[in-house]
Structure 1
Amino acid sequence: MDKNKFSKTMDMHKGSKTIVNPATTVNSMATNIKRVYHNDKTSTYWLPKDDEEQMRLTGQHYAFKSLYGGNVLPSVIDALDFQKGINILDVGCGSGIWVMDMVQEYPNCAYHGCDIDDITYKKIRVNQFTFSKGNVIKGLPYEDNTFDFVHMRFFVAALREENEWPTALGEVIRVTKPGGMIQVSDFDLKVPKDTTSLLYKAVLGYHHICKSRGQNPNIGAELETMLSKHSNIKIVQSDYRTCDMSSGTSTAKMFIWDSLEGVKSAKDVLGPMLGVNTPEELEDFLIRYRHDLETKESPVSFNSVAVQKLPVV
């Protein structure tokens, strides 16, 4: 992969007009575009799959990376030889931003990505990357014990808690080699204490959307509990972190940008709950929402858990 091309692409994704400069007006991206969604009728995923959403997820990637100080938890780095080269799977890879970022740090690894639609970024060829279309709850298209490291994150809006999460985690464990590592990360969408903030109103809306689909908006807080039900793995690290978006840090500013774009992405289902039904109403809400995120305590929380698959006895 050409590093110059990669750098230009990353600059485009996280350029000063979208992420690095959060002072950009909320009108810098259109609020009246028609969104494009996945067409898998069995999926409960309710966010779009269009270019605007991939841009948001790219920004979210860098915000999450900034919060955690990297793409991989220390226990995983210690357990596997990334420098020499290992076999890696990114489940729900989306645009492939996590893989593209990882390739720059660990170019000797072989990367595989799987998602229900191929929306990976096509303008750059990553020689180390292979995409396969697949649905984790229908069975990943890989043999047992294939990967040294499996990465899975942000399925809060994609999986039902009762039956799909256990199935997905079982599949992730199945394709991991004995002794291999798994990292699962997700949101814990806590309802803010300040009931006057628009974040409070937005989070209540997200909770309603998730629960109406059988999803758990606080799934991040349940990761250890769900994973501990599998006897063939052991939890080696759990890292729960919160960013207060009103803190003024660079990480906080990136999460504010992500939060604003998230409302745009969810407008078709979230809008009516916020009293937002027109592009003009959305623009007005985003201005007020941004002000609240910057001036009132506005936490966003995640949990990231690393487990190791036990050797077969």
Structure 2
Amino acid sequence: MADDFSSQKPRKLSDSSSLLLEFSKVFRIRKISRVLINNKSFTFNNNNKDSIDKDFIKKLSYELKSINKYTFPSFNDDEFIRLNLEHYLFRFNWQSNFSSPMEKNLLLGGIKVLDIGCGKGIWILDMAKEYHPSNTFIGIDILSIFPNENSRLPNTGFIQCDLINGIPFPDSTFDFVFERFIVCSNFSNFQWNYLFSEMIRVLKPGGYLEIMEYNVNYYNPGPITLNRNAQVFKYLNSKGIDPETTINLIPQMMQSESSLSDFNRQDKVCPIGRWGGELGMMMLNSYETTQKDLNKQFQPGLTKEELEDLITSIINEFDEYKTQIGSFRCFARKKIFSF
């Protein structure tokens, strides 16, 4: 890897028309996700090139029943859509897929990249299409909800593993380790500290570690929103998860870690609600889906009608208070020790 990264910046994805094009893919994904839920055969009307593998559907159905560590109770139709919507939304909001100064190296090729908690692998596929084909992109997640073989690129791979048991790679394997939005996925502070050490372990000297997470508290929230958030935190705390503490500690951990240097933090805010235009409406769609999926855990006593009324009240509050959601990216370089 080159030693001087200071002048490198990820390319900007500023074309708004490209965002609309990417979002149109979300509605195509709805057809796939219905197949996964209903266990029906389906083939795209695109020269019959893409099809859903029946063994994959069967395997996924079994895993969803047997693994309950993921925060969401199940991967329903809306949840598949939300995961893809979230990726494109934040990519547009940040105008990039990452902030670490890895652009030059990714363009040159020969870089090994690891995505921690990759989910459906949308970040992996996006990066593989963007950069040199000699790069290697690996995603790991507790559920194998990965792209089917027809959707993958030759330089991408996916591994199912429980991150609580560690990252299944030798020391100093990857040039770039990326993690996004997994703090609330049933990690205690102790487990997160262990995972953090594992990310550093598999990172090559001179390589970059980047962590992207939500700021768990909203900007300009109203009283109803604050009360709902209190219910969310109460539920998470009951499971031994303290996202507020963990997320606030991430920048400190990266900055104080003796094996890391060149620490940098970047913050972005995104509007949520009708007041924020198209971007605000897209974030609102993601919020609604999440809240409906998780309500049985957060406030199980609410009826369907009461939940709809609550969400409507929160939506109105978002517009009244002009609420925003924050996210941040922290990145640092693993030191090259000389003896």
CA-CA distance at 1:161 after TM superposition: 4.2
Residue pair 2:272, 2:281 contacting (<8 A) in 1 also: yes
Q: 1:287 aligned to 296, 305, 312, which one?
A: 312
Q: 1:183 aligned to 203, 206, 210, which one?
A: 210
- 1: CA distance between counterparts of 2:65 and 2:254? 28
Equivalent runs, 1:129-208 vs 2, <5 Å:
129-190=156-217, 194-196=221-223, 198-208=224-234
- 1: CA distance between counterparts of 2:272 and 2:23? 23
- 1: CA distance between counterparts of 2:234 and 2:187? 14
- 1: CA distance between counterparts of 2:337 and 2:318? 49
- 2: CA distance between counterparts of 1:14 and 1:82? 31
- 1: CA distance between counterparts of 2:108 and 2:335? 23
Going from structure 1 to structure 2, the CA distance change for 1:139 and 1:156 (only over 3 Å counts) comes to: closer
Residue pair 1:191, 1:204 contacting (<8 A) in 2 also: no
Q: Alpha-carbon deviations, 1:257-310, whole Å to 9, x = none?
A: 1111110221221233xx5233x3333333333333233322211121011111
Matched letter for residue 54 of structure 1 = F
Q: 2:255 aligned to 217, 224, 228, which one?
A: 228
Aligned length: 282
Matched letter for residue 244 of structure 1 = P
- Whether 1:309 and 2:334 are equivalent positions in the alignment is yes
Query: Hey, what does 1:25 align to over in structure 2?
Result: none
Residue pair 1:183, 1:305 contacting (<8 A) in 2 also: yes
Residue pair 1:47, 1:157 contacting (<8 A) in 2 also: no
- 1: CA distance between counterparts of 2:107 and 2:74? 31
Residue pair 1:143, 1:175 contacting (<8 A) in 2 also: yes
Aligned-residue sequence identity (percent) comes to 24
CA-CA distance at 1:49 after TM superposition: 4.6
Q: Alpha-carbon deviations, 1:47-90, whole Å to 9, x = none?
A: 24514323211111122212211101053436x34342411111
Residue pair 1:76, 1:306 contacting (<8 A) in 2 also: no
Going from structure 1 to structure 2, the CA distance change for 1:309 and 1:113 (only over 3 Å counts) comes to: same
- 2: CA distance between counterparts of 1:16 and 1:97? 12
Could you list the runs of 5+ residues in structure 2 that have no partner in the other structure? Answer: 1-19, 31-62
Going from structure 1 to structure 2, the CA distance change for 1:256 and 1:191 (only over 3 Å counts) comes to: closer
Query: Hey, what does 1:31 align to over in structure 2?
Result: none
- Whether 1:95 and 2:120 are equivalent positions in the alignment is yes
- 2: CA distance between counterparts of 1:40 and 1:226? 30
* Larger-gyration structure (1/2): 2
Residue pair 1:271, 1:277 contacting (<8 A) in 2 also: no
Query: Hey, what does 1:27 align to over in structure 2?
Result: none
Worse-matched range after superposition: 231-240 or 181-190: 231-240
3-state SS in 1 of match to 2:183: coil
CA-CA distance at 1:222 after TM superposition: 2.2
Residue pair 2:100, 2:208 contacting (<8 A) in 1 also: no
Query: Hey, what does 1:21 align to over in structure 2?
Result: none
Give the aligned CA root-mean-square deviation in angstroms: 2.8
Q: 2:75 aligned to 50, 53, 64, which one?
A: 50
Query: Hey, what does 2:285 align to over in structure 1?
Result: 257
TM-score, normalisation: structure 1: 0.80
3-state SS in 1 of match to 2:199: helix
- 1: CA distance between counterparts of 2:316 and 2:64? 30
Going from structure 1 to structure 2, the CA distance change for 1:71 and 1:191 (only over 3 Å counts) comes to: closer
3-state SS in 2 of match to 1:132: strand
Kindly indicate which of the two structures has a greater share of residues assigned to helix: 2
Query: Hey, what does 2:145 align to over in structure 1?
Result: 119
CA-CA distance at 1:115 after TM superposition: 0.8
Matched letter for residue 11 of structure 1 = S
Q: Alpha-carbon deviations, 1:161-209, whole Å to 9, x = none?
A: 431111011111111111111110111211565443x322322222212
Matched letter for residue 235 of structure 2 = I
Going from structure 1 to structure 2, the CA distance change for 1:220 and 1:303 (only over 3 Å counts) comes to: farther
Query: Hey, what does 1:69 align to over in structure 2?
Result: 95
- 1: CA distance between counterparts of 2:288 and 2:110? 38
Going from structure 1 to structure 2, the CA distance change for 1:266 and 1:258 (only over 3 Å counts) comes to: same
TM-score, normalisation: structure 2: 0.74
Worse-matched range after superposition: 81-90 or 170-179: 81-90
CA-CA distance at 1:137 after TM superposition: 2.2
